[in-house]
Amino acid sequence: MGELSLKCKVSILISWALVLTCSAAKQDYFFHSGNLTWEQARNHCQVCYQDLATLTPENIQTIAKEQNITSDCWIGLRKNFDYNSTSNSSMPWSRWANGDPLLFQNWYPGWPVFRSSLPKRYCCTCQGTSQDATSLTGLAEETTENTTNMSNFTDQTVTDSTGLGESIQTVTDSTGFGESIQTVTDSTGFGESTSQNITPITAAPTMTTQPPAEAGCVPILDLSESDTNFIEDSCVAMLSFGAWVEKNCWELLSYICYEDRFCGEVTMTDRTSDSAVLTWEPGPGDISHYRVEVRVNKTLKTEIQTKNLTYKPVNLTGGTGYSVQVFPVKCGRDLNPQELLFYTTPDKVSNLTATIVTETSVHLSWNRPAGNVDFYLIKVQDTDWNKSKTESQGVDKLTPGTCYTFTVISGVLDGSTWSEETSIELYTKPGKVSNLTVSNNTMNSLQLKWVPPEGRVTGYRVVALNDRNHILYSETEETPEKKVTGLPMGTKITLRVSALTNGTSREGDTTTVVNYTAPGPISNLVLNSTYNSLTAKWSPSEGNLSSYTVKLQLDGTLVTTANNVTKLMKHFDGLMNAANYTVIVYAISGHIKSSPVADSTFTKPSPPTDLIVINTSKNQITFQWKAPVNISKATYSVKINSSFWKYSKVETLYNKTSYTSEGLISGTKYDFEVRTITTPEESSDPVTVSNCTEPDKREIGLSMLCSSAEILLCDTTTTRKSVFEQLKAHFNNQLGDNIFWELEEN
Ligand SMILES: *[C@@H]1O[C@H](CO)[C@@H](O)[C@H](O)[C@H]1NC(C)=O
Ligand SMILES: *[C@@H]1O[C@H](CO)[C@@H](O)[C@H](O)[C@H]1NC(C)=O
Ligand SMILES: *[C@@H]1O[C@H](CO)[C@@H](O)[C@H](O)[C@H]1NC(C)=O
Ligand SMILES: *[C@@H]1O[C@H](CO)[C@@H](O)[C@H](O)[C@H]1NC(C)=O
Ligand SMILES: *[C@@H]1O[C@H](CO)[C@@H](O)[C@H](O)[C@H]1NC(C)=O
Ligand SMILES: *[C@@H]1O[C@H](CO)[C@@H](O)[C@H](O)[C@H]1NC(C)=O
Ligand SMILES: *[C@@H]1O[C@H](CO)[C@@H](O)[C@H](O)[C@H]1NC(C)=O
Ligand SMILES: *[C@@H]1O[C@H](CO)[C@@H](O)[C@H](O)[C@H]1NC(C)=O
Ligand SMILES: *[C@@H]1O[C@H](CO)[C@@H](O)[C@H](O)[C@H]1NC(C)=O
Ligand SMILES: *[C@@H]1O[C@H](CO)[C@@H](O)[C@H](O)[C@H]1NC(C)=O
Ligand SMILES: *[C@@H]1O[C@H](CO)[C@@H](O)[C@H](O)[C@H]1NC(C)=O
Ligand SMILES: *[C@@H]1O[C@H](CO)[C@@H](O)[C@H](O)[C@H]1NC(C)=O
């Protein structure tokens, strides 16, 4: 219902086709030159038209002018019709052939002609009784005699003898024959005129005209006057200039027929896109058949003849305006056609698709249907119809992510018929989510949050990608937040969120955010310290790391932070000795820190300084050193060692800075080592010094016997030297500088 009214609204905008009208009550006249008797002519007119022409003041001009009447012709008037034997209308000149009353006459002067002898007989023999005679008729009460000056009316007396009463004394020119007879015209049009001066009082020849017997009149035939123009049963012919005369009905003349113009209507039912049923009204009279002409744009498409009053044209083209004319054919003549312009139903559009779909707009296109179409109407949901002349239409101001039904119908110019609907349902694209943020970055998860877009959304698709665009995670979610899990550690993650509608089938534009998972903690943290420096080394954590952050704390207080450390070690200098330092290492990925890994260590104590030997004897050595700075009371570990004698002795000294080693072997080199000790495990680097006890010299003779296969070889100097060098090397090897010795050759 609503749809229909909308369609109607549109059709108001459409220019309506030409309205076909048929002016009813118009008569057409047909002049036939030929030679038929009045009866034959009338018969022909009745068969092929309506009847012989009835003349009126209105049509006489037209007929006379347009029909080019070249000769006398019959019209639909005769003196006596035997219309209906039972009716009383047998008065002469009273009716036209079609039964119309004779309201108008246009006699040529002198007509109609009456029999002259009858009245003369009555009047001329009954002297002085003319009054009686006239009164007997009961029709004429006054007689008027007069003559005219006109040439051919000179001797005629025109009498009002219609018997229609005194009142009709007015003399009117209603014949159109000029002033010459102005005084003598009977306004009723039924006047009789005689050619005699003597007034006849009878009304009509056919009426009772018996002379009154009591008057004693003796009719005497008076044949002195001529009756040549008198015709007993005359028919009326029209002269070519319009005036009427009586003629014998058997004369062969031309004739004029008339016919009421036929006005009928063609109606169209059962309209489809390729056919319609046409029905029309029957034509008047004896219609031989109907000729149906079907035109498109004035081009004749089909022409058929049928006796039926319906016709069903088939194989029509949809959406086309067909103009139909149905001509009733009578006597081989086309009557005024019944006409109709109708449109076949246009075919429905096909392949309706949405070519562009955005969040708020849709561009539709479709295929033009076979056949013709003048325009299309497009409807979105239940809104108004929009008109389009082309096979596409953009629709905007839609809500994102919402299901819409788009309907297209095709129409024709006059809006009288519409094609079937073609519809598609589709979802507009959902909007883009906004304010996408990441929080709670862990080693394998990220917490996402976002603001839902405008319009309708049934869910979201959340996708996580790594740098090489491998999908790490893809899930849908209904609420605007999601914990993305199962991610690799310490990795740059691209996160995409798109809104979904119609389940998951329609997806909006994606919003992207980049963030990092937290890297894993480092491992194998090893600290190496000296008395004033510390070196931390570690193994890398999992993931793509950008750097490390290393923090140094002393007794829980931050000493320094090293950012952007890219090597797997960090060296700290200038530290306090013998202090408990803590090193904390974070791996960094993006801006995300791993969980910390920490270790603590003490820096070493400072070694003593200025270790010197101050006294040496044969069996003891005394040495001294200075305590390291900032140590008031220190413990020292002193080690005395002689590798030669495999002698080693360790002494722990408390708060002494000198030491005398006793019971030593003379002439031996001793190594001394002194360390500062803080805890049993921690001691400082050693300071060392070496010294020899005084030698207690003894001489030992060595004699060597030389024997040789070669004569006198032993006696040569070179050999002796060589042997001596070998011997020296041997002693050096055995003793080194560990004890005092000298080798001399004698
Ligand atoms: C009248 O009829 C005759 C014979 O019937 C014919 O020869 C003549 O042509 C006709 N005249 C006209 C005007 O038809
Ligand atoms: C009458 O004659 C005129 C001019 O000769 C002509 O145009 C017209 O068609 C004729 N009418 C008929 C009915 O023959
Ligand atoms: C005469 O009139 C009667 C009654 O009006 C009618 O039934 C009859 O058909 C008429 N006859 C003729 C010949 O017109
Ligand atoms: C006849 O007409 C003449 C003038 O035309 C008039 O004088 C005379 O009275 C008329 N006669 C009658 C009887 O009316
Ligand atoms: C008058 O009648 C005579 C004979 O009756 C005729 O010759 C003459 O043509 C007629 N005049 C007119 C104008 O009709
Ligand atoms: C006329 O109508 C009849 C029945 O309604 C049908 O059989 C016939 O084919 C029709 N003729 C034409 C020419 O349409
Ligand atoms: C209509 O078209 C069909 C198929 O093209 C054809 O078979 C049929 O004869 C056509 N009918 C008419 C009336 O042209
Ligand atoms: C519908 O349109 C598409 C693209 O315009 C075309 O490829 C397809 O063939 C069409 N289908 C029909 C049934 O017309
Ligand atoms: C909605 O989703 C279903 C299932 O995916 C699909 O079949 C249907 O065509 C979709 N509806 C619209 C209007 O796109
Ligand atoms: C998105 O964030 C901006 C600032 O970050 C804020 O002004 C705006 O209101 C937020 N939008 C929504 C819908 O929360
Ligand atoms: C990345 O994650 C960190 C830590 O959760 C957060 O502070 C930062 O805002 C995030 N960056 C973006 C672009 O969301
Ligand atoms: C971060 O995670 C913790 C523990 O999983 C949770 O309690 C907290 O609410 C989360 N913070 C945000 C902003 O999601």
| Whether residue 616 is found in the same domain as residue 637 | yes
| Whether residue 72 is found in the same domain as residue 219 | yes
Domain termination site, one of 516, 551, 568: 516
| Whether residue 128 is found in the same domain as residue 207 | yes
Q: Mean pLDDT highest for which of 142-151, 188-197, 685-694?
A: 685-694
CA end-to-end distance (rounded Å), the chain: 147
Provide the percentage of residues in the chain whose pLDDT is more than 70: 79
* CATH code at position 629: 2.60.40.10
- For the CA of 351, the closest atom of ligand 8 is 1
Is the CB of residue 435 below 6 angstroms from any atom belonging to ligand 10?
A: yes
Is the CB of residue 308 below 6 angstroms from any atom belonging to ligand 6?
A: yes
- For the CA of 151, the closest atom of ligand 5 is 1
| Whether residue 267 is found in the same domain as residue 131 | no
| Residue 640 structural domain | 609-692
Answer yes or no: is pLDDT of 362 > 60: yes
548 close to 588: Cβ distance less than 8 angstroms: yes
| Whether residue 301 is found in the same domain as residue 367 | no
**Which pLDDT score, from 0 to 100, does residue 239 have?**
87
Closest residue by Cα to atom 5, ligand 1, is 35
- Could you tell me which residues are beta bridge partners of residue 334? 329
**Which pLDDT score, from 0 to 100, does residue 21 have?**
57
Is the CB of residue 367 below 6 angstroms from any atom belonging to ligand 8?
A: yes
Answer yes or no: is pLDDT of 376 > 60: yes
Number of structural domains the chain divides into:
7
Residue carrying the six token digits 């429905």: 348
**Which pLDDT score, from 0 to 100, does residue 204 have?**
38
Q: What share of the chain is helix, strand, coil (3-state, %, to 5)?
A: 10, 40, 50
Whole-prediction pTM: 0.59
Instruction: Tell me the two tokens of residue 536.
Output: 């931390």
Residue carrying the six token digits 């039912």: 269
**Which pLDDT score, from 0 to 100, does residue 82 have?**
64
**Which pLDDT score, from 0 to 100, does residue 221 have?**
44
CB under 6 Å to ligand 4: residues?
A: 144-147
Closest residue by Cα to atom 1, ligand 6, is 308
Q: Which amino acid is at 129?
A: T
**What's the 315 CA to ligand 7 centre distance in angstroms?**
6
* CATH code at position 89: 3.10.100.10
Instruction: Tell me the two tokens of residue 228.
Output: 């040549």
Ligand closest to 349 (CA) is 8
| Whether residue 34 is found in the same domain as residue 159 | yes
Range 429-454 average pLDDT: 92
Return the axis-axis angle of helices 117-125 and 130-137, rounded to nearest 10°.
130
From 348, 351, 355, mutation site for ligand 8 pocket: most ligand atoms within 8 A of C-beta: 351
**What's the 87 CA to ligand 3 centre distance in angstroms?**
8
Is the CB of residue 451 below 6 angstroms from any atom belonging to ligand 10?
A: yes
The secondary structure element, H or E, covering residue 523 is strand 523-529
Reported as a single tens digit per residue, the pLDDT across 689-737 is 999 999 888 888 888 777 778 777 777 788 888 888 888 899 898 888 8
Reported as a single tens digit per residue, the pLDDT across 627-668 is 887 666 778 889 999 888 899 999 888 888 899 988 888 889
Which residue in 671, 623, 667 sits closest to 647, CA to CA? 671
Prior bond of 112 cis (ω within 30°): yes
Distance of CA 189 to the CA centre of its chain: 79
Under 8 Å CB-to-CB from 518, ≥6 apart: which residues? 441, 442, 443, 489, 490, 589, 592, 593, 594, 595
Worst-scoring range by mean pLDDT, 46-50, 212-216, 448-452, 537-541? 212-216
Which residue in 158, 162, 154, 134 sits closest to 144, CA to CA? 158
**Which pLDDT score, from 0 to 100, does residue 141 have?**
33
Closest residue by Cα to atom 12, ligand 5, is 152
CB under 6 Å to ligand 3: residues?
A: 83-84, 86-87
- For the CA of 67, the closest atom of ligand 2 is 13
| Whether residue 134 is found in the same domain as residue 226 | yes
Closest residue by Cα to atom 5, ligand 6, is 308
Worst-scoring range by mean pLDDT, 83-92, 184-193, 322-331, 715-724? 184-193
Predicted confidence band at 290 (pLDDT cuts at 50, 70, 90)? Answer: very high
Q: What is the rounded distance in angstroms from the CA atom of residue 393 to the CA atom of residue 400?
A: 19
Answer yes or no: is pLDDT of 218 > 90: no
Instruction: Tell me the two tokens of residue 499.
Output: 């809104």
Predicted confidence band at 230 (pLDDT cuts at 50, 70, 90)? Answer: confident
DSSP letter string over 258-323? EEEPP---EEEES--SS--EEEEPPPSS---EEEEEEEETTEEEEEEEESSSEE---SPPTT-EEE
| Whether residue 622 is found in the same domain as residue 737 | no
| Whether residue 451 is found in the same domain as residue 484 | yes
**Which pLDDT score, from 0 to 100, does residue 627 have?**
85
| Whether residue 241 is found in the same domain as residue 306 | no
**Which pLDDT score, from 0 to 100, does residue 329 have?**
92
Closest residue by Cα to atom 3, ligand 7, is 315
Instruction: Tell me the two tokens of residue 333.
Output: 């003549």
Domain termination site, one of 343, 370, 397: 343
Predicted confidence band at 22 (pLDDT cuts at 50, 70, 90)? Answer: low
Domain termination site, one of 692, 711, 734: 692
Closest residue by Cα to atom 10, ligand 12, is 440
Q: What are phi and psi of 43, to 5 degrees?
A: -60, -45
| Whether residue 95 is found in the same domain as residue 32 | yes
Instruction: Tell me the two tokens of residue 244.
Output: 């009427």
Closest residue by Cα to atom 13, ligand 6, is 306
For CA atoms 477, 481, 486, 487, the dihedral sign is positive
238 close to 176: Cβ distance less than 8 angstroms: no
Answer yes or no: is pLDDT of 352 > 90: yes
Q: Are strands 73-78 and 253-260 parallel, antiparallel or unpaired?
A: parallel
Answer yes or no: is pLDDT of 87 > 60: no
Ligand closest to 458 (CA) is 9
Q: Are strands 385-388 and 422-427 parallel, antiparallel or unpaired?
A: unpaired
- For the CA of 440, the closest atom of ligand 12 is 1
**What's the 308 CA to ligand 6 centre distance in angstroms?**
6
| Whether residue 89 is found in the same domain as residue 217 | yes
Q: What is the rounded distance in angstroms from the CA atom of residue 409 to the CA atom of residue 415?
A: 12
**What's the 69 CA to ligand 1 centre distance in angstroms?**
17
- Could you tell me which residues are beta bridge partners of residue 333? 330
**Which pLDDT score, from 0 to 100, does residue 99 have?**
82
Instruction: Tell me the two tokens of residue 145.
Output: 């005699």
Residue 504 DSSP symbol: T
**Which pLDDT score, from 0 to 100, does residue 353 have?**
93
CB under 6 Å to ligand 5: residues?
A: 151-152
Predicted confidence band at 342 (pLDDT cuts at 50, 70, 90)? Answer: very high
Distance of CA 426 to the CA centre of its chain: 11
